[in-house]
Amino acid sequence: MHAVRNVRLCTKDCLCLYVCPTGATDTEDGQIDAEKCISGCRACVDACPSHAISLVPDEYPPQQEKTDAVKKALFALSKSKAEQEKVAAGIADSSDDPIVRQLARAISKSNRVMAEDLLREAGYMLPQSQNVKSFLQSLLDTPQPNDFPIEVVKKLMEKI
């Protein structure tokens, strides 16, 4: 469990700098230095008057099982939302009218958010979950077009 800072909540009262035993909280980019942070120490978390610092686990529990029936129903909807995102993007792309483009882009965005949420609940919530690992592995195991960014997938498999 190492500490992370939400810079948007940080009010720069600097108490985290006073209490950190390793200097991990004092960095040029506002992020807490994970290398220096002592796992589970939480001195900065408790000292922060703005609740801008929290602990993020290094390991996560297995995710909730999803039934096939629920997955199937969610996938049917996410497919529809993904299609609507494309239709709206097509309307935005083909129109010269800035208002039509604005409305179509809003609808496209809205559908992307809904599709993401449905897929999250269909078993792809946690990036480190087994489902996501299997998904990435399947991308490596099946033939892909020449332009497929295979090095991106390999890097993700390593880091996640």
Partner 1 sequence: MKKYICSICGYVYDEAAGIPEEGISPGTKWEELSDDWVCPMCGAPKTVFEEEESDVNAAPEKEVGADRNTEEVRKLSFAEMGALCSNLSKGCEKQYRAEEADLFNRLSEYFGNKSGITEHKGFEDLSELIQQDLNSGYSTANDSALNNGDRGALRALVWGEKVTKILKTVLMRYEKNQNALLEDTNVHVCEICGFVYIGNEAPEVCPVCKVPNMKILRVQRR
Residues 19-48 that bind partner 1 (CB under 8 A): 31
Query: In the complex, what is the shortest distance from the CB of residue 63 to partner 1, in angstroms, rounded to a whole number?
Result: 10
d(CA 14, CA 25): 9
Question: Among residues 94, 130, 134, 137, which is the contact residue for partner 1, using CB under 8 A?
Answer: 94
Residue reference for tokens 């190492």: 2
Number of residues near partner 1 (by CB under 8 A)? 74
Q: What is residue 77's three-state secondary structure?
A: helix
Q: Which stretch binds partner 1 (CB under 8 A): 11-19, 20-28, 45-53, 140-148?
A: 140-148
Query: Please, which residue, 50 or 110, has the CB nearer to partner 1?
Result: 110
Question: Among residues 13, 26, 46, 70, which is the contact residue for partner 1, using CB under 8 A?
Answer: 70
**In which region does residue 96 sit, left (phi positive, over 0), alpha (psi from -120 to 50) or beta (all else)?**
alpha
Question: Among residues 23, 40, 106, 134, which is the contact residue for partner 1, using CB under 8 A?
Answer: 106
d(CA 115, CA 77): 8
* Beta strand ranges found along 95-144 (DSSP E): none
Q: Which stretch binds partner 1 (CB under 8 A): 10-18, 20-28, 35-43, 150-158?
A: 150-158
* Beta strand ranges found along the chain (DSSP E): 2-5, 53-56
